[in-house]
Amino acid sequence: MKCTLFGIRRFAATLVLTPFLFTTSAIAGPPLICHTIDIGNANSLPWISHNWNLSGSECYDTKNLISDTIAILDSDPTVLVHMETLRRATLYAQSDSRTSKQLLLKLVARSNSAGNSAEAALASFDAGYLAETLNQWQRIHKGSANPAQGFDGFAFIKKAIQLRGDDAEMFFAAALITLEGPAAEHQDYAQKAIAGAKSDSLLARVGIEPRRAHLVINDEVTFSRAPLQARKVGFPDSGFDLGISPRGLPEMEQA
């Protein structure tokens, strides 16, 4: 599978109207999957590849994927580390939808049982970000099962931002997720991420520059995308296939 160049023509007209530019150079494919986050020497799942995907030479035992992923998330409050760890977890579990499903279930349960607002913010972010990453994975790997189908991960991201407050790295994640719209929402998150990057050296390494508030993207659309509508496009209001209610998710399926 290849990540092909990704672009959004519909944002071109707004580029000249905004005072900042949110840049990560040309993005290949869905950004949550195909954009590697530079986390320096921070602890995460093993990674020996020199590009966005696994090299095929990994010796990592994926039987430990769920426990290892949660242990890493619990040990480091840095949002970018969480983003990259969840991206790697998605790739390691790409041929095992059951593992992806169980990881998502555990992250949702972790979010529901968080003891304070700081824990709840990160736990909610993790559940939402994994769901959005799984959704993007399925869009470039059509035919594969999507354990997050019908789950509005972005609602969890929004909850996390409300609980966390002014967090540039969460704004950056939200800007990536809303890259296809709504345009005003994306622009707002992007501008906040840019402002925060001035005092966040790790986020600055991602490639944010103060010119305009959008990701620099190639003007070429080469993979199918959902319509520019609300974030719940295609998500049934009655629930989703993990057996979890979208309202507080009380009916948890046991791992």
Which amino acid does the sequence have at 64?
N
> Structure pTM?
0.76
For residues 154 and 142, the model is more confident at 154
Average pLDDT over residues 199-220: 57
Average of per-residue pLDDT across 43-68:
86
Q: What is the DSSP letter of 243?
A: T
- Return the closest-CA partner of residue 78 out of 37, 25, 114, 108: 37
| Tokens of residue 214, six digits | 């959008």
Residue-level pLDDT at 14: 32
Which of the pair, 144 or 68, is modelled with greater confidence? Answer: 68
Of residues 9 and 155, more confidently modeled: 155
pLDDT of residue 207: 63
Percent of the chain with pLDDT over 70: 70
Structure tokens at 77: 């409050």
Q: To the nearest whole number, what is the mean pLDDT of the chain?
A: 75
* 141/138: higher pLDDT: 138
Distances (CA, A) of 97 to 100, 152, 184, 253: 5, 18, 34, 15
Give me the pLDDT at residue 99, please: 94
Who's near 216: CB < 8 A, 6+ residues apart? 21, 22, 23, 24, 25, 26
Instruction: Output 9 or 92, whichever has higher pLDDT.
Output: 92
Contact 107, 157 (CB under 8 A): no
Residue bearing tokens 């290949």? 28
Closest CA to 2 of 254, 223, 190: 223
Q: Given this model, what pLDDT does residue 1 score?
A: 58
